[in-house]
Structure 1
Amino acid sequence: MKNALKLCLLLLLLCLNCKVYSYSMGDWSAETKNGTAFNDPGGGLTIALSNGDKYKNIKKWYFYKNHIIGTSIQFVGTYDERLTCYFIMNELNNQVLAFDEEDAWYKYRSEHGLIPAYWTRWHLDNWSNMDALIFLSIFYFPITILLLYAYFKSIYSALKGNEFDRSRLAFMVAAPVLFLIIYLLGAFPGSV
C-alpha cells in the first residue's frame, strides 16, 4: 500500500510537469553576437535587427559570415494563401535583401560567398539546447537525482575497484562529452 501511494504520487508529479513543460517551452528569445534579437512568443518567430526593424513569420534560417539567411512565410489575401519569401540579412549594416524566387536567392548567395562550404546548420527554433536541458533537469528533479547518483557511483566504483570496467568508463566519459557538445553547438550556432 505504501509503495502504491509513492508510485501514484510520482506519476502525478510527472504528469503535472508535462503540462508545465508544454506551456513554457514554446516561448523563447535569444540574441546574436551582433545584437539581432530573435523572439518567438508561440505565434511565429520575429527577428528584430539592431536598428529596430522587425521581420515576422520566419520559417528557417542559418548564420554565416555576419548574415542571417533564410526563408519566411508571407500571407497573401486570405489567411490560407501563403507565399514563401527568401531573405538575406546583413547584421553589421542592417541591410535586408528579399527575394521572391529561390533561384535568384541561391544565385546571390553563390556570387557573394554566403553558402557554407562544409555544413549549413539550418535552425527552425531556439539554437541553444542548454536552456531546455536546464529546464528539464529542474522539473524532472527526481530523474536528475537518479542520473547524478548513478554517475557519481560509477566514478566512485571505478576509482575504488581493482578491475578496469569499460562500461563504467564509457558512461563517465560520455555524459560530460555530450553536455559539452550540446553547449558548444548552442554557443556557436553558425554554419561552417
Structure 2
Amino acid sequence: MVSTYETIKNQARKIIHHYHSMELADWQSRPRTMSEYELWMDLLHLFKSQAIEASRLNDLTQSQQLVQDYFEDTTSSPPSPPTLDKLVRKVCDLVPSIYQALLNNKPLESIEELLQVAEPTPKQGTEPASEKVLSELMDAYLSENQLKGWKMRTIKQYEHSLFIALHLLGDGPVSSLNHTHDIHMIYRTS
C-alpha cells in the first residue's frame, strides 16, 4: 500500500511535469530570436529566484494556481482539502526545479533526474513530522539549539515564547495545524 506521503509526492511530480511541458511547449511554439532567448533566460532566473523565495516565505499563491490548473487541464478530481493543502505545499517546494530544468535546457524526460536532486528520497524516520505533537518538536528545537551553543538566556526566551504558543495551540499533532490556528492565536492574544 502506498503511503499518503508517497501519493502526494507522486502527484506533485505529475503537476511539475505538466507545468514544465506547458512552459517548454510555449517557448517552442515559434522560432525565437537571440534577444528573445536572452530575455527568456533572464526571466527564468527571475522566476526561479521568486519561486525559491515563495517557498521560503510559505507563499503558496503560484502553487495553488498550478495545482488548480493541473486538475482543470487533466479533468482529474482534486484530493480532499487536507491532502490538497499538503500537495500545494509540496508543489511549492518543487517549482524552482521547473525553472532550473528550463535553464539547463533539460527535456521533459530528464526532469525526473532533477527532481531527484531537488528532493532526495527521505531516509527512514525523516518523512514529514506531521504525526509528531507540537511539544515534541519544540523540545527537539530547543535541544538542537542548545547543542549549537546558544546561550542559556536565548534558549529561555525561546522556551517562554514556545510555551505560550503551545498553550494557545494545544499539544496536538502538527498535521492538525492550519491557518485558522494563526487567526485564533491573534484573537486570543489581542
Q: Name the TM-score, length of structure 1 as normaliser.
A: 0.21
Q: Name the TM-score, length of structure 2 as normaliser.
A: 0.21
Higher Rg: 1
Higher relative contact order (CA 8 A, sep 6+): 2
